[in-house]
Amino acid sequence: MNDVLSFLLTESPEPVTLDSVETWWRRHVELVPRFQSPADLALAGGFRADRLGFAFASGYHAAHRFLFPMLPADQPVALCATESMGGHPAAIQTRLAPTATGWTLTGEKAFVTLGSSAKLLLIVASEGQDDQGRNRLRLVSVDARRAGIIATELPELPFVPEVPHAELRLEDVAVSPDEVLPGDGYTRYLKPFRTVEDCHVHLALLGWLLQLGRRSGWPDPIREELLALAVMMRGLAQADPSSVATHVALAGALAQVKRTLVESEPLWAQVDAVTRERWARDRRLLDVAGKVRVKRLEAARAKLAGAVPEQGD
């Protein structure tokens, strides 16, 4: 841990201009040998970013490193879950069908973050229904260049436009048995990823804010508070992402990050105009999935109170 804290406090706070996803990726992957912990990688990647969008991208990739440590660290990865009806288990219509030698994937994904630049795709698919009529989901890891995978880049979002998104069409994509990850695709991967992503993206945000605070001359107390929040979030990032205790603690941590952002609002007058304008445009990113976070906290509180929420919460 001391390595990443020293990095945040002593590394040059002047970022290299990142003019493309490819440039961001080259800078990000340079950090992988130095920071083995995904949480530390998120912090360092955020610190090196020249804007919130690329800090987010580093946190997003670090979240994959946490949940899928078996994947190659030098290839950008995208999780493909959301379909036209959403990302809830019942909304997944992409099919994983058996063949004589393996499986095939058929379906569509409506919104894949970094989908057009990923080299490896993690695709959530249904292999049928259980006795209660619920989707039995699996997660499949396939090369993004596999025959039958058609990625179409989507229009830029009004915030963090540097981060590309794509829709996917899957036409009888051949899948070998070893490309189907073990375990339930929802409970083992998709559901915990929401928590893992929150932790690592906010770590990257805090790394970026520490860099920004150092180069913009923010007062020591606010920079020390950001560092303390990073230490707290780092601990949560290494906790069990399926635990209700983690969900309750994470809600408190996110609320504290939000309060610190509000308190530091006057300090943005010291930030250079380009970065300040990007922040005004991009800060909406932090509110994405707000309803999911509220639902996750409500479910955790209900479980702690002895109630059992509906499947899929």
**Residue 208 and residue 178 in one domain:** no
Grouping H, G, I as helix, E, B as strand and the rest as coil, residue 243 is coil
- Whether the CB-CB separation of 42 and 237 falls below 8 Å is answered with yes
Among residues 199, 203, 202, 201, the alpha carbon closest in space to that of 4 is found at 203
**Residue 212 and residue 173 in one domain:** no
In a domain, 313, yes or no: no
Average pLDDT estimate for 283-306 = 93
Q: How confident is the model at residue 309 (pLDDT cuts 50, 70, 90)?
A: low
CATH number of the domain that 102 lies in?
2.40.110.10
**Residue 86 and residue 60 in one domain:** no
In a domain, 284, yes or no: yes
Domain interval for residue 298: 2-67+188-304
- Total of domains in the chain: 2
Instruction: Write the pLDDT tens digit of every residue in 208-262.
Output: 999 999 999 999 999 999 999 999 999 999 999 999 999 999 999 999 999 999 9
Final residue belonging to a domain, choices 183, 202, 229:
183
Instruction: Write the pLDDT tens digit of every residue in 92-111.
Output: 999 999 999 999 999 999 99
In a domain, 72, yes or no: no
C-alpha neighbours within 13 Å on the C-beta side of residue 98: 3
Q: How confident is the model at residue 308 (pLDDT cuts 50, 70, 90)?
A: low
Alpha helices, H only, the chain: 2-10, 21-29, 38-48, 52-67, 191-215, 220-237, 244-263, 273-282, 290-304
Final residue belonging to a domain, choices 168, 183, 198:
183
Final residue belonging to a domain, choices 153, 183, 213:
183
Instruction: Write the pLDDT tens digit of every residue in 116-171.
Output: 899 999 999 999 988 888 899 999 999 999 999 999 999 999 999 999 999 999 99
**Residue 120 and residue 227 in one domain:** no
**Residue 171 and residue 23 in one domain:** no
**Residue 162 and residue 298 in one domain:** no
In a domain, 122, yes or no: yes
